[in-house]
Amino acid sequence: MLDRFTKPISALALSAALALSAVTLPATPARATDAGDIIAGVAILAIIGAIANEARARNDRPAVTRNVEPRHVPQHTPPRNLRVAPAQCFRDFGAVRGYLARCMQQNVARPGLLPPECIVRVNTNRGPRNLYAGRCLHRNGWEREAGFRP
């Protein structure tokens, strides 16, 4: 409650002191410049005080809360296996079964993960073919595509 009266009381005391000093002192040229400097100093202090009070008033205000929806946080998705051999690349050449190399390189998620040691050259009735051997792929962490039927 006292804070409400502090500013007006100090302003009244300061103005009274200035008024009395001007009345009691004789007006000489040297004293007039000193009084002008004092008045300018008091004005600067009053401006600084007003700025400080305004800043304090801004900090005392309750924070404005807006009704904001929470952000959508994506759920953690389990890592998918990037080593999945597509069923469309599987071929059965009688004695040899495997995945066509060109088809695998064009249709897997990460072709750089294909193991080069699993490539087998096979002679077919349509000429030589490069296959990825299925068992070799399995040993290197590759899986069949879901719903695969050989």
Q: Would you give the end-to-end CA distance of the chain in angstroms?
A: 88
**Residue 100 maps to a domain:** yes
Q: Is residue 71 part of a domain?
A: no
Give the residue from 13, 28, 60 where a domain finishes: 60
Q: Is 130 exposed, middle or buried (0-12, 13-18, 19+ CB in 10 A)?
A: middle
The answer to the question of residue 74 being in a domain is no
Which two three-digit tokens encode residue 128?
Answer: 């030589």
Q: Residue 114 belongs to what domain range?
A: 84-144
pTM (two decimals): 0.46
Q: Would 149 be classed as within a structural domain?
A: no
Residue 51 shares a structural domain with residue 97: no
Evaluate whether residue 109 is within a structural domain: yes
pLDDT digits (tens, 9 = 90+) for 11-21: 655 665 656 56
For residue 126 the two structure tokens come to: 């349509």
Higher pLDDT, 20 or 56: 56
Question: Residue 65 falls within a domain, yes or no?
Answer: no
Query: Would 27 be classed as within a structural domain?
Result: yes
Estimate to the nearest angstrom the gap between the alpha carbon of 70 and the chain centroid.
15
72 lies in a domain? no
Number of domains in the chain: 2
pLDDT of residue 93: 80
Torsion sign (Cα): 122, 124, 129, 132: negative
Q: What percent of the chain has pLDDT over 70?
A: 62
- For residues 127 and 92, membership in a common domain is answered with yes
Q: Do 98 and 131 fall within a single domain?
A: yes
pLDDT in tens, 100-119: 999 999 999 888 999 999 99
Q: Which of the listed ranges 12-16, 25-29, 39-43, 86-90 does the model predict with the highest average pLDDT? A: 86-90
How is 55-101 classified by DSSP, letter by letter? HHHHHHSPPPPP--PPPPPPPPPPPPPS-EE-GGGEEEETTEEEEEH
